Amino acid sequence: MKPFTFTLRQEPPQRVDLSALTPDRLAGKSVAQIEAIELGVTRISTKVGDLFKVSEGDLKTVRFEGGSSRFDLLGAKLLPGFAIHVEGDVGAQCGRLAKGGRITVAGNAGPHAASGNLGAEIEIKGDVGEFLAGPLAGELAGMAGGRVIVRGKAGERAGDRLRRGILVIEGDAGEDLGARLIAGTILVLGEAKGRVGYLNKRGSIVLARGGCFGSTYVDCGAHELTFARLFARSLRDHSAPAADLLSRKLRRYGGDTAVFGKGEILTAD
Amino acid sequence: MPDIIRNGVTIDDNFAEAFPMSGTGILITAPNAKWARQAALTMTGFATSVIGCGCEAGIDREVPPQETPDGRPGVRALLFAMSSKDAEKQLVNRLGQCVLTCPGSAVYSTVAGEFEIKVGDALRQFGDKWQMSKVVDDRRYWRVPVMDGEFFCEGKVGLTKKSVGGGNLLIMGADWDKTMRATEAAVSAIDGVADAIAPFPGGIVRSGSKVGSKYKGMSASTNDAYCPTLRGVTKSELDADIGCVLEIVIDGLTDNAVREAMRAGLHAIIEMGPEQGAKRVGAGNYGGKLGPFHYHLKELLP
């Protein structure tokens, strides 16, 4: 069956909140009702009908033909079993607090993508902004489950306060990758710029290219790790280069000893 | 009882009586097949009968690297006990003493049961707070630092109460060599059946028991009706041509696994014939009133 499709008519005149357009929240509504949903976040009204041509289809998959960097909160609180695909860019907080399901974005994503993700599989084919999978201001933990794969680059502070789940960045990562990491796993296949794993408690950061991690990370030698082989198998279909990285012998740097010191940075060298 | 004869082997018109058990299974992997097998052998040692060992355990099959979660050679071991509590205690103890200690090993759940046993969630404490948890595809694993690297163990292992224990075949032959030849053929056929094990030494038990004893406090004693040396002096089940009886006991994760294992064993014995192997095959039961699972030999014939 055809997916439920929103075809973009024009660039939104303001930032829009797309959290209402997830399959469970669209269920049981007629096209007319959906077109009347208010998306604007200012006093000026922007309704679904103003932006999109709506074509009904199977609500298991919602498809956006055309994207915009003003598309905020796309797929927020998505439930398991559903999927959203965007043929274009998205704005801030894509997949925010998603419980499960699958979100694919063909273009770039803005800041706070996968923020607080609880179990969704999120794939961004382009680049992402800062605070990938991170918490919003005032929140104690970032992403707590699921898998996020970024084919391009990630902005600063990717994986901030990550608690659980897997983050794969196939391109470069900005400064302060994995800062305040609680647990979980981050893989970077490009270059990780500047400081890495600042105040990491017990998370794992796997880097294709090593570097100097400062005096609070301590070299623990190169090892064949069984867990990495399991991760490699699990990631093989989603990111072959990440699986290759995990299949290699990895040098373990224990840290950040400025805090717990139970975490690690693993590098292939 | 009217006897059934197949390929010269007499098949008793009798049935094996089996009981519900709590069953669980794990996959042990290691850097090579030798050490995966060693871990499984050690873990399933002293696990022939629930009467004295607390559980019955054995190796189900070797798993090639392509099929294991971490791509290393593996061995699947099954463990059965009379209650889920016993199964949990035995599995955790055996993993802690036999698998955690075995070089290179890692443990994964291979049974999707109605219940779960906390395995890694218990053994992780060996890590003395250096252990790390990892969740992959919604399953939690523990990395416990040990002297050869890391012991990797799944947090929970499935347990099913739909397991069956006590499927059996009594293999009777002219002498020890012939009976053993037929019994070994049956055991290797049973090895090929998934989800079933024969927990006794090499899959074979020579000291079949009956319920009760002349001694006070003993719940089981030698099955004198099947002892060839007592043929003349007791109410024997054996004819003059039988000089040796061996038994195979089978536990399986499902009713069907036990049935298929018995079928495979029986076929192997019949195929060998009485000249090389066994003259007669029987099965043990308690009159059919104790165990809910009955496996009639005549229904398993080729």
CATH classification at residue A155: 2.160.20
CB of B145 within 8 Å of a chain A CB? The answer is no
SS3 (DSSP) at A261: coil
Q: Is the dihedral of CA A7, A98, A100, A124 positive or negative?
A: positive
CB of A257 within 8 Å of a chain B CB? The answer is no
Q: CB–CB of A232 and B137 under 8 A? A: no
Nearest neighbour of A202 by CB, restricted to B70, B106, B132: B132
Give the pLDDT of residue A116. 95
Cβ atoms A121, A101 nearer than 8 A: yes
**CA atoms of B55 and A171, how far apart (whole Å):** 52
User: What is the bridge-based pairing of β-strands A58-65 and A3-8?
Assistant: parallel
Please give the ipTM for the structure prediction. Answer: 0.91
CB of A2 within 8 Å of a chain B CB? The answer is no
Q: What is the mean pLDDT of each run of 10 residues along chain B (302 residues)?
A: 85 95 96 97 95 94 95 97 95 96 96 90 92 93 96 96 95 97 97 96 94 88 94 94 96 97 97 96 88 94 88
Q: Is the dihedral of CA A137, A140, A145, A148 positive or negative?
A: positive
Residue A122 predicted with pLDDT over 90: yes
Cα–Cα nearest to B253, from B62, B113, B44: B113
Residue A231, min C-alpha distance to chain B (Å): 7
Q: Do the two domains B4-18+162-300 and B22-160 of this chain adopt the same fold?
A: yes
Sequence spans of domains, chain B: 4-18+162-300, 22-160
Give the pLDDT of residue B287. 83
**CA atoms of B149 and A217, how far apart (whole Å):** 19
Nearest neighbour of A233 by CB, restricted to B69, B129, B132: B69
Contacts of B133 in chain A (CB under 8 A): 183
Instruction: Please compute the mean of the pLDDT values over residues A57-81 and round it to a whole number.
Output: 95
Contacts of A145 in chain B (CB under 8 A): 135
Give the pLDDT of residue A62. 96
Residue B194, min C-alpha distance to chain A (Å): 24
**Residue type at position A12:** P
Give the pLDDT of residue A161. 97
Q: What's B4-18+162-300's CATH class?
A: alpha beta
Give the pLDDT of residue B189. 97
Give the pLDDT of residue A181. 95
CB of B72 within 8 Å of a chain A CB? The answer is yes
Q: CB–CB of B143 and A230 under 8 A? A: no
Q: CB–CB of A231 and B106 under 8 A? A: no
Q: What is the pLDDT of residues A228-258, one digit of tens each?
A: 999 999 999 999 999 999 999 999 999 899 9
Spell out where A56-155 has E strands: 58-65, 71-72, 83-87, 102-105, 121-124, 144-150
Residue numbers of the domain that contains A122: 3-267
Nearest neighbour of B136 by CB, restricted to A183, A202, A230: A230
**CA atoms of B234 and A33, how far apart (whole Å):** 89
Residue A105 predicted with pLDDT over 60: yes
| pLDDT higher at A211 or A178 | A178
Instruction: Please compute the mean of the pLDDT values over residues A34-60 and round it to a whole number.
Output: 94
Q: CB–CB of B152 and A232 under 8 A? A: no
Instruction: Please compute the mean of the pLDDT values over residues A163-192 and round it to a whole number.
Output: 96
Nearest neighbour of B134 by CB, restricted to A185, A224, A232: A185
Q: What is the pLDDT of residues A203-229, one digit of tens each?
A: 999 999 987 788 999 999 999 999 999
Cα–Cα nearest to B247, from B164, B302, B166: B166
Cβ atoms B145, B128 nearer than 8 A: no
Nearest neighbour of A229 by CB, restricted to B70, B129, B130: B70
Tell me the pLDDT band of A193, cut-offs 50, 70 and 90.
very high
Q: Which residue has tokens 């009379």?
A: B82
Q: Which of B28, B67, B109, B135 to mutate to test the interface with A (most CBs of A within 10 A)?
A: B135
Residue A262, min C-alpha distance to chain B (Å): 7
Q: CB–CB of B70 and A223 under 8 A? A: no
Cβ atoms A159, A144 nearer than 8 A: no
Beta-bridge partners for B247 = B170, B205
Q: CB–CB of A226 and B130 under 8 A? A: no
Nearest neighbour of B143 by CB, restricted to A119, A166, A227: A227
Q: What's B22-160's CATH class?
A: alpha beta
Give the pLDDT of residue B2. 62
Q: Which of B105, B150, B153, B154 to mutate to test the interface with A (most CBs of A within 10 A)?
A: B150
Q: CB–CB of B136 and A202 under 8 A? A: no
Cβ atoms B80, B162 nearer than 8 A: no
Nearest neighbour of B137 by CB, restricted to A232, A234, A264: A234
Give the pLDDT of residue B204. 97
Q: CB–CB of B152 and A204 under 8 A? A: no
SS3 (DSSP) at B40: helix
Q: CB–CB of B141 and A230 under 8 A? A: yes
Q: CB–CB of B70 and A230 under 8 A? A: yes
**CA atoms of B9 and B279, how far apart (whole Å):** 5
CA distances (Å), origin B159, targets A130, B80, B255: 44, 9, 15
Non-local CB neighbours of B47 within 8 Å, separated by 6+ positions: B53, B54, B55, B56, B57, B58, B79, B90, B94, B199
DSSP string, B1-30: ---EEETTEEE-S-EEEEEEEEEEEEEEE-
Q: CB–CB of A227 and B150 under 8 A? A: yes
Residue A92 predicted with pLDDT over 90: yes
Question: Rounded to the nearest 10 degrees, how much is the dihedral formed by the CA atoms of A126, A127, A129, A131?
Answer: 100
